[in-house]
Structure 1
Amino acid sequence: MLPSTGVLCIKRFNSVHTCGATVRTCRNPRMGSDLVSAVVADRVRDQPLTRLTDVVFDLKNEYGLDISYQVTWLGVEKVRGEVYRDHATSFDQLRWYSDAVMQKNPNSYVNLEFDQKIGRFPRFKGNLLAAIAKGVNQGLFPVAFAIVDSENSSNWEWFLRNLKEVVGGKRTLTFDRIKYVNVSQKIGLMRKLWECAHAPTVTCFNEKFELLKKCNPAVIEDFLKDLHPKHWSNAYFSGRRYGEMCSNTTESFNNWVGQARHLPIARWVDMVRGQIMEQMSERRVKCTKWAGVICPKMEKKLVSAYNDSRAWCVSQANDDVYEVHSHPSVLVDVVKQTCSCFQW
């Protein structure tokens, strides 16, 4: 330091270090686990499944640092320990969050149930239950979701009781029960199973089912032993399937919220809320461009069905019942919304 000017002036530079930095390697790194956790903290919080290999690569790519997997693991685990504490805090925030939702979205439905004696939820980790509607234009419409401690009959009953508060009314609802069994790849029976499911009458179903069983009786009997036809076939189903015989909505919803599932619960719920809000906004804008009342895909189907039926003759029996002279002729009740072909 020059006393007259206050300027720092280096007159001689000695490049020999005595601090020992030159002998440090990956086994004796400059960057310890505490510094690693500080650098990757935000990333691990937003992406709890962050892989160690990605962290090591990014530290090398962005900072030129060679960090061992052991040091990286220690740093990431420290962040995850903090995130675990975030989960405890996040559960405490749920009551505040539910009050905020009801204030800003008055028609929403929120129900928090916890142990009244200790004032806490049973556990941090849990299962996601969801009710997803499938639109006629193949879109997903999340109706309700819940976080429960485990997937069992009592929790499903609790979920369905609360679901009534959201979708209450006189309209009959059809629930799709997913059963993941890969029969088609084992013995190639998907086509015959599909014919059984779509058979419009019991007689037709029995004929198709006999053909199915002849292919491999033991496998088919084991596959359908706990699965009554009323749950998967048109002929026995007592409700309305609205033309839908299968559904991949569960997998689609899981993929849709895949990243959010590993976040603390309050952040998870808010992220899903934001995704639903964006989805509704996008669809609202999209439907303003429709030329007709219904979505373009269903309008195209309606026009096609109309053109196919133009040659049919119709005789009126009374105010509600008509006979359609097609191949074969059928009886249609427009009030009950039934047809003698067993399809509507």
Structure 2
Amino acid sequence: MAHNTPPVYVSNTRQLQCFLSLKKSEQLRLCVEITEKKDDSSDVEASEEEASEEEASEEDASEEDASEEDASEEDASEEEALEEEALEVESIENGSYDGCSLEDEQDEIENDCFSNVEIHDVAGEDEIDDNFSTYGESPIEEDEDSPTLPSKKRYQNFLMSESKGNLEVLKLEMSSLDLAVGQRYLTKKHLKRRLKLFTVRHQFDFDVEISNLTTYVVKCWVDGCTWRVRASTEGLSPQFYIRIYDSDHACSVTERSNRSRNATPDILGELYKNFLGDVGPAVRPESVGIAITKQFGVKMEYWKSHRTLKCAREIDEGTPECGFELLPSYLYMIRRANPNTVTRLQIDELGRFMYVFLAFGASVNGFPFMRKVVVVDGTFLNGKYKGTLLTALAQNGNFQIFPIAFAVVDTENDDSWNWFFTQLKVLIPDQEGLAIISDRHNSIGKAITNVYPLAARGICTYHLYKNILGRYKGKDVFRLVKKAARCFRMSDFDMIFEEIEALNPDLHGYLERADVRLWTRVYFPGERYNLMTTNIAESMNRALSHARGLNIVRILESIRVMMTRWFAERRVDARSQSTTLTRGVEKLLQGRVSASRDWTVQRIDDHHTEVKYGAAGESLNVVNLVERKCTCRRFDVEKIPCVHAIAAAEERNVSRISLCSPYYKSTYLASAYAESVMPVDSALPVPDNVANVQCFPPFIRQQPGRPKENRMKSALEVALANKRPRKEHICSRCSQSGHNARTCPT
């Protein structure tokens, strides 16, 4: 194969055999892991070895007998074939085909072994801001859904039994596509689909001679060829039986393979899914086209490969329309499996989907152990019906993402955000101690004002920086804006803000119009802690990026799978932490404890302590351990002891652990993840009043061209990506790094 052929995920033995067959004409390199179940008993193995020597002479005779039996079965009468197929009525009632060939040996081989080849998609690292997200990482097990880590797990499929509206999938064993006299098909439509699959696989085409309600006759498209199939019904039954099958071709293989009208995307999609490879989010249309061309000899253009991959994914995951139809039943099953779960489904007067809201009971019961800062954001969906995924998140005491609620709406506007916050208010009541962080979307600001009038709103400083970088020039001024936003003391902010006004009056006016109460620490009216950006929301969007093209039920199920894994892993991790404070806070305090030894401490009174640096006291701060305050205001904002508070606590023999907020304790972390996120139990029936609720897809206007899967990068992201790394200093004497000429050991 071509040296630039993309990697393909091989998921079963049939796909592996198809690729190995290419070794006859192509140079192939495969990386395959095969697992075969064996008996551990040594006595059984020894007996099998002895038996294999005795039966070696009998294998040839058994193969000859099997070939004779196959020939006799193909020449059997119609009555005998129908009697044999009558035993398979049970499989027809389950919706599967019983028109199968006699390749039993291949089926046994497929049941004995399987192969797996994993493809890892490595994600890029995001800039770390004030969120301290790296402090909470476990040294043994890391969060697999973080955008800074590679994705190592394939997407799990969601199955719902006895659900209506599922995509009509041809359920047949692809290893037995051969035709035979006596095969039975439920309708003529099923027979036609089997013939198309058969002809595309064997690289030829057919013409239809007769097609009516009772008879269907096809022949090879080449004139004079003897290949022919005749099928007809029996009595009043709509089932078709193959009466005549001439399997031999009288035409040349080069002539009959010149036409492939039946190689449509839906047929190729099913062949690709069952024979060639995976249909996961990492698969690209180019790899699908190359694999189909090599195996079936069909010329594939890009758009045909794209449609083929789309059809294969719909067979595996269900159509977008199927997702909306299953949505009421899925929400009911989620509520039944997870107590205290809140779900809302909004449909219009025509029964068409508008909004859906989902908050798992584990998140509802775990939020009281979180700091009262909620980060909200929205990201676009790239499925057929588009839409926007809204998220509400918090950050736990270990500086990890804690999901609260999710919603799917049509777009980000006043109505959708107002509806989302109205549903969120059921879980998180409006109160003065609550802070909501978001971007500068006008609809978010209006909705917070209407639904959460008592809460304090803050904007993401990262989005503010992007706007400044696109409108104003000057690196020095840009650095001053970042320093002003992160200042803890009012005097420091006023000094930097005056400097910004002197350098760029227009930028100063823009920052004032943006409202300093929204983007600065010092003027923020509520408790913002360390959350200055919406980075945790962007990380969540990245973790769910693989599901944004799925139907709506698959999106919600992907969220459920992710949260089930997160709660299980973090529950074990929280219980394993032996310290009183969380791992993230312990790691943060480690550096502050070391730095606190360089400070000089002097008592003022029973509550106040003077802490200064150096003999001259160029940096002097006053700490009040009773009120947990410091003049640097870092202790006041973060609720974690600053360097000065640690030095004062050590001098007064006060426990530094007692100075931290209880939200940073390991017991709070374990309580937050005490409950589990359970999957749906598809074995339990859905009530008729729920199953009969109709939810139709919304009206959309499909844009021309291929949907965009990646958003356009902002000016700040482009600038950071093109930023040249700082040159490492080397010694002028020995040309080594880590020291200079004055301290050179040579």
TM value normalised by structure 1: 0.78
Over the matched positions of the two proteins, sequence identity in percent amounts to 25
Partner of residue 209, structure 1: 497
Partner of residue 622, structure 2: 330
**Deviations along 1:6-43, whole A, 9 cap, x unmatched?**
896xxxxxxx9743531467x74487124312224589
Distance across 1 between alignment mates of 2:391 and 2:508: 30
Q: Is the 8 A contact 1:196 1:208 kept in 2?
A: yes
Distance 1:134 1:74, change over 3 A: closer
Q: How far off its partner does 1:129 sit?
A: 0.7
Distance 1:306 1:82, change over 3 A: closer
Q: Is the 8 A contact 1:44 1:79 kept in 2?
A: no
Letter in 2 for 1:19: C
Distance 1:105 1:89, change over 3 A: same
Distance 1:171 1:97, change over 3 A: farther
Q: Is the 8 A contact 2:388 2:410 kept in 1?
A: yes
Counterpart mapping for 1:303-318 below 5 A: 304-305=591-592, 308=596, 312-314=601-603
Counterpart mapping for 1:5-44 below 5 A: 18-23=250-255, 28-29=259-260, 32-33=263-264, 34-40=266-272
Q: Is the 8 A contact 1:330 1:340 kept in 2?
A: yes
Distance across 2 between alignment mates of 1:154 and 1:141: 26
Paired positions, count = 325
Partner of residue 7, structure 2: none
Name which of 377, 388, 398 aligns with 1:137. Answer: 398
Distance 1:46 1:141, change over 3 A: farther
- Quick check: which one's strand share is greater? 2
Q: Mind listing any 5+ residue stretches in structure 2 that lack a counterpart?
A: 1-67, 72-247, 356-384, 440-459, 613-619, 637-746
- Larger Rg computed on CA atoms: 2
Distance across 1 between alignment mates of 2:420 and 2:624: 38
Partner of residue 149, structure 1: 410
Partner of residue 12, structure 1: none
Name which of 278, 281, 284 aligns with 2:568. Answer: 281
Q: Is the 8 A contact 1:148 1:155 kept in 2?
A: yes
Q: How far off its partner does 1:326 sit?
A: 2.0
Distance 1:312 1:165, change over 3 A: farther
Counterpart mapping for 1:1-344 below 5 A: 18-23=250-255, 28-29=259-260, 32-33=263-264, 34-40=266-272, 47=280, 51-60=284-293, 63=295, 65-69=297-301, 71-73=304-306, 75-76=308-309, 86-115=319-348, 117-122=349-354, 124-168=385-429, 172-178=433-439, 180=463, 181-182=465-466, 183=468, 187-188=474-475, 189-219=477-507, 221-222=509-510, 224=511, 226-302=513-589, 304-305=591-592, 308=596, 312-314=601-603, 322-327=607-612, 328-330=620-622, 332=624, 334=626, 338-343=629-634, 344=636
Letter in 2 for 1:208: I
Q: Is the 8 A contact 2:601 2:611 kept in 1?
A: yes
Letter in 1 for 2:601: W
Q: How far off its partner does 1:339 sit?
A: 4.6
Q: Is the 8 A contact 1:48 1:80 kept in 2?
A: no
Distance 1:56 1:207, change over 3 A: same
Q: Is the 8 A contact 1:24 1:30 kept in 2?
A: no
- Quick check: which one's helix share is greater? 1
Q: Is the 8 A contact 2:486 2:520 kept in 1?
A: yes
Q: Is the 8 A contact 1:29 1:67 kept in 2?
A: no
Moved more, 93-102 or 257-266: 93-102
Letter in 2 for 1:204: D
Distance 1:287 1:252, change over 3 A: same
Q: How far off its partner does 1:292 sit?
A: 0.6
Distance across 2 between alignment mates of 1:67 and 1:59: 8
Distance 1:74 1:325, change over 3 A: closer
Distance 1:165 1:293, change over 3 A: farther
SS in 1 for 2:393: strand
SS in 1 for 2:408: strand
**Deviations along 1:266-286, whole A, 9 cap, x unmatched?**
111011111011011111122
Distance across 1 between alignment mates of 2:505 and 2:432: 39
Letter in 2 for 1:291: S
Q: How far off its partner does 1:146 sit?
A: 0.4
Distance across 1 between alignment mates of 2:397 and 2:482: 21
Q: Is the 8 A contact 2:270 2:311 kept in 1?
A: no
Cα RMSD of the aligned pairs, angstroms, is 3.7
TM value normalised by structure 2: 0.39
SS in 2 for 1:175: strand
Distance across 2 between alignment mates of 1:292 and 1:103: 37
